[in-house]
Amino acid sequence: MTDLTDLTISESLKKLKAKEISPVELTTAYIEKMKNNDKYNAYVTTTEDLALAQAKEAEKRYANGTNRPLEGIALGIKDLFCTKGVRTTACSHIIDNFVPQYESTVTQHLLDDGALFLGKLNLDEFAMGGSNETSCFGPVVNPWSKETKLVAGGSSGGSAAAVAAKMCAAATGTDTGGSIREPAAFCGVTGIKPTYGRCSRYGIVAFASSLDQAGPIAKDVTDCAILLNSMAGYDAKDSTSSKVDVPDFTSFIGKDIKGLKVGIPQEYRPDGLNKEISDYWDKAAQILKDAGAEIVSVSLPHTKYALPTYYVIAPAEASSNLARYDGVRYGNRKEGNGLDELYINTRTEGFGKEVKRRILIGTYVLSAGYYDAYYLKAQKVRRLIKNDFDEAFKKCDILLTPTSPIEPFAIGDKKMLENPINMYLNDVFTVSVNLAGLPAMSLPIGLSQNGLPFGMQLIGKAFDEETIFKTAYQLERGANFVRM
């Protein structure tokens, strides 16, 4: 018999509706994979019993014809989404025993549509990182690793690895500066960060509120469209959620892209860019050209300021968001002599090194005397970065770039660990998108000589995920990437 976990969501739904397979069978197959693949450290909490109970319910619904759009589809949830009654940790010791009393809006949408949850997935602590190595539960291992254990990317490393190793049909992720796209690229799967405001942030542990967005990580472009249909939508509980209609994203799958203008930002091709990545970039452009698109060169002149801008704004917002974990209002308390010592002990023991670094940077750039020089300046540059995109989109409909300047590296790589800036540099192609609030997808284009996946990024205009989906589908078809 074929392996049921090979099926995409669209294929599974067809078979479920035709009663060729049952939700319990399908869920059991995924649970089996979770057990066989725990060496990847993708899940930090598993909820098999809950999932099987939901699968039985799904079985009834298929039998009596009350099945919903995602009935019986088994998902993994990044452990940053609050799940009612199921431990939610953000992979930080400071809240490692937190059991929410409520469900995040995005996961509630998925449950309402009949999806079931296999468990909570590993991530960088509070989603701060690019390799999943800052998690208090240890790093996720990239399923594509050969002899050396490689990083799965971050911060949604557990989500991308679980999808690649077929430990769930798809997963939720969040993206503040690349955390959906980069792990998707490293693990050879597909993920989309929607336009800021498309998905509600309610019930998602906050990192940097003006940048955070939820989105799906899945086996292919079509599955991302199916999931985004469910995840997106206005929510009164999130004041930055947009009152914009959610089109049926799946209706753009297969649409032709004749005459579509695809922009190649010249600043994304620095002299030292990895040759293999640059070759795949050319190949991707050629695939789109063959499908009828026109390739145009565009300029995003403020690209070189994107990383410094992001690494001022994101830590500033993080330092404010994380102030609540003080052992009094939130967070595991560590007693001390007096209030100051209680704070110090709680935060010293609860937070990891990278989170502390971000809080320090953030507090510094927001402090009197430095606020104008750093935070305010960064906000101004953020606007210039957004203006660059506005200008570029006068000349094209969508942008094509690599997702990451490098391929997956070894867990514990000295260069990355000895200087955090080396890790931050990997975000060079992704952070501008968050600063500008735009939607962007990463999808696999091919393998490196080392047999490791490379991802390509498609960046769309605000609330134009449609163009991303139809372009990505053509690219996917042309690339013909063989999943793990």
Say whether 155 is catalytic: yes
How far, in Å, CA of 392 to CA of 253, rounded?
25
From residue 194 to residue 213, what is the string marking binding to ligand GLN with x (rule CB under 6 A)? -------------x------
Give yes or no for residue 133 binding ligand GLN (CB under 6 A): no
Give yes or no for residue 175 binding ligand GLN (CB under 6 A): yes
Which has the closest alpha carbon to 285: 445, 481, 75?
445
Of residues 12, 22, 33, 78, which has the active-site annotation? 78
Alpha helix stretches (DSSP H) within 367-401: 377-395
Of residues 131, 135, 155, 159, which has the active-site annotation? 155
Are 264 and 298 in contact by the 8 Å Cβ rule? The answer is yes
Interactions with ligand GLN, residue window 138-167 (CB under 6 A) = 155
Give yes or no for residue 118 binding ligand GLN (CB under 6 A): no
Residue corresponding to tokens 């609330």:
463
Interacting span for ligand GLN (CB under 6 A) from 10-18, 173-181, 277-285, 476-484: 173-181
Interactions with ligand GLN, residue window 410-449 (CB under 6 A) = 427
What is the sign of the dihedral through the CA atoms of 254, 258, 259 and 265?
positive
- Residue whose CB is less far from ligand GLN, 63 or 421: 421
In the complex, the smallest distance separating the C-beta of residue 261 from ligand GLN, rounded to whole angstroms, is 28
How far, in Å, CA of 440 to CA of 457, rounded?
7
Which has the closest alpha carbon to 237: 343, 44, 102, 369?
102
Interacting span for ligand GLN (CB under 6 A) from 98-106, 123-131, 444-452, 467-475: 123-131
How far, in Å, CA of 300 to CA of 297, rounded?
10
Sequence-separated (6 or more) residues with CB below 8 Å from residue 244? 197, 198, 234, 463
Which has the closest alpha carbon to 161: 226, 89, 220, 217?
217
- Residue whose CB is less far from ligand GLN, 165 or 214: 214
Which has the closest alpha carbon to 457: 285, 335, 332?
285
Interacting span for ligand GLN (CB under 6 A) from 126-134, 227-235, 324-332, 384-392: 126-134
Query: Which of 177, 265, 446, 455: binder of ligand GLN (CB under 6 A)?
Result: 177
In the complex, the smallest distance separating the C-beta of residue 131 from ligand GLN, rounded to whole angstroms, is 8
Rg of the chain over Cα atoms, rounded to whole angstroms, equals 21
Of residues 104, 179, 200, 319, which has the active-site annotation? 179
What is the sign of the dihedral through the CA atoms of 290, 293, 295 and 298?
negative
Say whether 78 is catalytic: yes
How far, in Å, CA of 121 to CA of 204, rounded?
14
In the complex, the smallest distance separating the C-beta of residue 457 from ligand GLN, rounded to whole angstroms, is 14
**C-alpha 442: how far from chain center:** 10
Give yes or no for residue 130 binding ligand GLN (CB under 6 A): yes
- Residue whose CB is less far from ligand GLN, 314 or 459: 314
Say whether 320 is catalytic: no
In the complex, the smallest distance separating the C-beta of residue 15 from ligand GLN, rounded to whole angstroms, is 34
Interface residues with ligand GLN (CB under 6 A) are 127-130, 155, 175-179, 207, 314, 427
For the annotated catalytic residues, the residue numbers are: 78, 155, 179
